């Protein structure tokens, strides 16, 4: 698995430091409230777990899965709900947790769904952002790292369902996804 990685982009320590920062900012902003924190499966599962431990206000957790990429490196442009929330978002402050924003299609779809369900507020925390790839006008409220347009994996991010369990984030060797 490690042989497929060209270079490390962010070490485990760098990521953990950033996650602590994001948790502190969210804890400050949501003081006195009880947000519903939504993990976008599968990519955000590790970030969600680490971030939740760094949020000091009471939160509820829920999980949602949407599909857009499949096993390709490009978004199909189509988004659909694969696993819906168990919780009603009506009247709730919602924080969506994403590992990465690329085209923005996944998040704009989810935000739209949650707003139509009458969430009180919808904010986004994304660990990684590739603004150069955006096809819809969308920005996170909390962003970890802005990254270039390279194919990154690890810390939840996959290529064909592999590499999610790497504790760091690295750039995949081109021969892995071009073969
Ligand atoms: C990836 C990533 C984001 C989304 C970002 O998920 O985790 O959810 O793509 O891309 P976008 O901004 O172009 O929509 P993916 O669809 O690969 O599913 P996964 O989380 O299960 O890997
Ligand atoms: Mn995802
Ligand atoms: Mg994926």
Residue 175 makes CB contacts below 8 A (sequence gap 6+) with: none
Closest atom, ligand 1, to C-alpha of 68:
16
ipTM over cut 0.95? yes
Tokens of 23: 């948790």
Pocket of ligand 1 (CB under 6 A): 40, 42-43, 68-69, 75, 98-106, 158
Residue 146's pLDDT is 98
- Quick one: which of 159, 172, 166, 178 has its CA closest to 71? 159
DSSP-assigned letters across all residues of 7-46: EEEE-HHHHHHHHHHHHHHHHHHTTT--PEEEEEETTTHH
Ligand nearest to the CA of 159: 3
90 pLDDT higher than 70: yes
111 pLDDT higher than 80: yes
Closest atom, ligand 1, to C-alpha of 75:
13
Question: Over the stretch 145-159, which tens digit does the pLDDT of each residue have?
Answer: 999 999 999 999 999
Residue 68's pLDDT is 77
Beta bridge partners of 95: 37, 123
Ligand 2 centroid distance, CA of 147 (Å): 16
pLDDT band at 78 (very low <50, low <70, confident <90, very high): confident
* Domains detected in the chain: 12-70+80-151 (3.40.50.2020)
Ligand nearest to the CA of 68: 1
69 pLDDT higher than 60: no
Name the residue of 38, 43, 46 to mutate for ligand 1: max ligand atoms within 8 A of Cβ: 43
Closest atom, ligand 1, to C-alpha of 79:
14
- What's the mean pLDDT when you consider all of the chain? 95
Catalytic residue among 102, 129, 137, 149: 102
Residue 112 falls in the annotated catalytic set = no
More confident residue, 56 or 75: 56
73 pLDDT higher than 60: no
70 pLDDT higher than 80: no
């Amino acid at each position: 698995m490690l042989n497929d990685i060209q270079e490390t982009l962010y070490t485990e320590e760098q990521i953990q430091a950033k996650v602590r920062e994001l948790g502190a900012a969210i804890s400050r902003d949501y003081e006195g409230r009880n947000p519903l924190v939504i993990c976008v499966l599968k990519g955000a599962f590790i970030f969600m777990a680490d971030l939740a431990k760094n949020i000091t206000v009471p939160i509820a957790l829920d999980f949602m899965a949407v599909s857009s990429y499949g096993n390709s490196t490009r978004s199909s442009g189509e988004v659909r709900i694969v696993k819906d929330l168990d919780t009603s978002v009506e009247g709730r402050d919602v924080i969506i947790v994403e590992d990465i924003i690329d085209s923005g299609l996944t998040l704009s779809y989810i935000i739209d769904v949650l707003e139509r369900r009458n969430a009180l507020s919808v904010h986004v925390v994304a660990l990684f952002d590739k603004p150069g790839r955006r096809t819809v006008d969308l920005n996170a409220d909390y962003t970890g790292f802005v990254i270039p347009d390279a194919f990154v994996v690890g810390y939840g991010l996959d290529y064909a369902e592999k590499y999610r369990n790497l504790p760091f984030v690295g750039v995949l060797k081109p021969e892995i996804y071009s073969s």
